[in-house]
Amino acid sequence: MDIVILAAHPDDEVLGMGGTIKKLSQKNHKIHLCVVTEGATAQYSDKKMIKVRKNACKKAAKILGIKTVDFLNFPDMKLSDASHLEINKKIEKIISKYEPTVVYTTPKNDLNKDHQIVFESTLIASRPLSSSIKQILSYEIPGITKIPFNPIVYENIEKEFLYKIKSLKEYKTEIEEFPHPRSTTVLESLANIRGMESGFKKAESFELIKSLIE
């Protein structure tokens, strides 16, 4: 099965569902990652950081078993200034290229505008009559939220959690100390909480956005 994962920034995929990605790839699913922004220019003045972030993403993808990585190269933290039509078209092109059965996308509940826009564009690009998609889920990214994340799907990642941490460590410039949400301590705490909710030792959680049953 082909699966597309949409990320607003390099590292969203690891923070949100690194364990699940590893689990899916070990089941021989073809995982395709699409990163919508370059994820660097809003934080760093040195444009060389774009290449650094991309290389880190590729290394993390290799650890998790991701088959392909596409970068759309929109400016970091400026998707609200970009043409929504252009964003939609580029995501539609990725979906047409890989014809996924399942798509995972960014959450709509946090304060990051790029995450919200990628979520909205995913829905537009995956209209039922124009795509092969049967299921859409959004993953959880730890951080400040405007509304609570409301998961109804939980993935057991007890065996894959260490791969999540290992892949995150490839993003050397992005890891922070606790209590920052991009700390390994926060990721483990969240995995434990979602595990407690679901009866697993460690879990990642998802909101089910769409499921088409024939």
| CB contact burial 41-54 (16+ within 10 A = b; e otherwise) | beeeeeeebbebbb
pLDDT tens digits, one per residue of 51-101: 999 999 999 999 999 999 999 999 988 899 999 999 999 999 999 999 999
Residue 40 Cα distances to 11, 102, 111, angstroms: 11, 28, 18
Distance CA 201, CA 108 (A): 26
- Here the CATH number for the domain that contains residue 73 is 3.40.50.10320
Question: Model's pTM, two decimal places?
Answer: 0.96
CA end-to-end span of the chain, whole Å? 17
In the chain, how many domains are there? 1
| Structural domain that includes position 148 | 2-211
Give Cβ neighbours of residue 62 (< 8 Å, ≥ 6 apart).
none
Cis peptide upstream of residue 179 (ω within 30 degrees of 0) = yes
Distance CA 200, CA 204 (A): 10
* Amino acid (1-letter code) at residue 7: A
What pLDDT was estimated at residue 154?
A: 98
What pLDDT was estimated at residue 54?
A: 96
Tokens of 107: 């959450």
What pLDDT was estimated at residue 41?
A: 78
* Amino acid (1-letter code) at residue 57: C
Beta-bridge partner residues of 205: 154
Positions of the chain with pLDDT under 50: none
Q: Where are the alpha helices (DSSP H) in the chain?
A: 12-26, 48-64, 84-98, 113-125, 161-168, 184-198
* Amino acid (1-letter code) at residue 191: A
